Structure 1
């Protein structure tokens, strides 16, 4: 199949209607119908069931939609990486705001001191924004610093660059603020924050809906919330809050992540420095 044919199929699948898909693609509907029929003949299976004016994916069609999207993403990612390599624009590193600030600063300083270092642009993703993993896959980023279990993500390679504990962030005047350590059972009953999901909505729960760390720390300082964060977030704390280590909280692992297909010497140099 050609990428053009895949794009036509995906448009029909997403619109559930040939007319709307043809309008979206800017082509005549008969040409779109013929292309889908050609794909079905080529694969020897039916991709859509007609239900009145709309169409629904068959089981085979659902598989092709998943695989087709991945294939189109891979083609677009290859084009982006090729253009970036030709333009020699440096590296794009993506991370979530507040993640491993000191560690990232040390890594970037060490890389900048390398004789063949290129410019590293850092993209900070807020909660509810673009997914760093997807930015790696589609070529918008070359490397990422993440604190998720991203080593299981298909199409990505990783190296662990840090393991750290967690801390409770409390109002300065809270009775537990003077403690040297806490356990999970001793954490106060203050509401926990709710961060936005990838689609911009918030999970259900009693805690305040938070958009960024500044808002979170202000609510904690006012005694309206508490949070458990990685210890690397300590440099970002603002006045009015205090941190206390939580001894039995699970450790947080920070990964350096890059696409499996990457052949960038600059990415390789960054990985080497991070894992030295």
Structure 2
């Protein structure tokens, strides 16, 4: 298979519409349709069910969508990392560190300060992103290293070192009846009237079904909580970013959050190794 064919297929599989996919790719629809049919013949598999109602993925198509995304990420990662290696060889070394905006801020500040003091330190460009995005940035080569948070982020295929483990708290509007409690349980939170949990976009950008508000970042989430429109279960360290309009209560039965520093398992970058060593020393 060619990367061009995979890009064509991913566009159709994500749009579930040949016309929109062709527009997204900047090509005409007939050659796109021919390319998908040719791909199906080569694989001897029906990837898409076409009907008057639209386009739907088959089981085989769902497998190829997942594998094609990973393959295209790998190609893009190879291109980006090769360019950065060339820049480093030319005397402009740098690292890109991806981290979720608003998360692990104290740890991140200490890490950057400690690493900058190392004699062989290089420039670290910090890439702040939304929830779950740092994993994708690391996989497709836009980042060299990332701070990930288990169990929310997948570390499959990465090498990791654990940096910290913390409990979680529920963030409520100030003055809420539960705010005076010493602790709560998840069942009590999910049963709160008028304070649903937020819905975050998935890897494909779509939101899961549910009653909670759609949110894109923590700033939006905290404002909704302050307005009494939502609540959220977040790591204990998030308390550092809260104001008087919020209250927090420990959640006894929520899973602990483990912050790890992660990097591609095949990385041979001395700069990445130096940053990881500094992080584990902290």
TM-score, length of structure 2 as denominator length:
0.73
Distance 1:223 1:58, change over 3 A: closer
Distance 1:275 1:47, change over 3 A: same
SS at match of 1:210: coil
CA distance in 2, matches of 1:38, 1:200: 26
Deviation of 1:105 (Å): 1.4
Q: Count matched residues.
A: 266
* 8 Å CA contact 2:201, 2:216 repeated in 1: no
After superposition, residues 72-151 of structure 1 pair within 5 angstroms as 72-88=72-88, 89-127=93-131, 131-149=133-151
Q: Give yes or no for the alignment of 1:189 onto 2:192.
A: yes
Deviation of 1:150 (Å): 7.5
Deviations 1:82-110 (A, max 9, x none): 11122134111112222211111111111
1:204 counterpart residue number: 209
CA distance in 2, matches of 1:94, 1:77: 14
* 8 Å CA contact 1:151, 1:158 repeated in 2: no
TM-score, length of structure 1 as denominator length:
0.75
Q: Which moved more, 1:149-158 or 1:83-92?
A: 149-158
* 8 Å CA contact 1:193, 1:227 repeated in 2: yes
If you compute each CA radius of gyration, which structure gives the higher value, 1 or 2? 1
CA distance in 1, matches of 2:251, 2:63: 45
CA distance in 1, matches of 2:172, 2:59: 51
Gaps of 5+ in 2: none
* 8 Å CA contact 1:171, 1:220 repeated in 2: yes
Distance 1:118 1:248, change over 3 A: same
CA distance in 2, matches of 1:59, 1:248: 36
Give me the CA root mean square deviation. 4.1
SS at match of 1:261: coil
2:170 counterpart residue number: 168
After superposition, residues 1-276 of structure 1 pair within 5 angstroms as 5-8=2-5, 11=8, 46=44, 67=67, 69-88=69-88, 89-127=93-131, 131-149=133-151, 153-179=155-181, 181-184=182-185, 187=189, 189-190=192-193, 191-198=195-202, 199-276=204-281
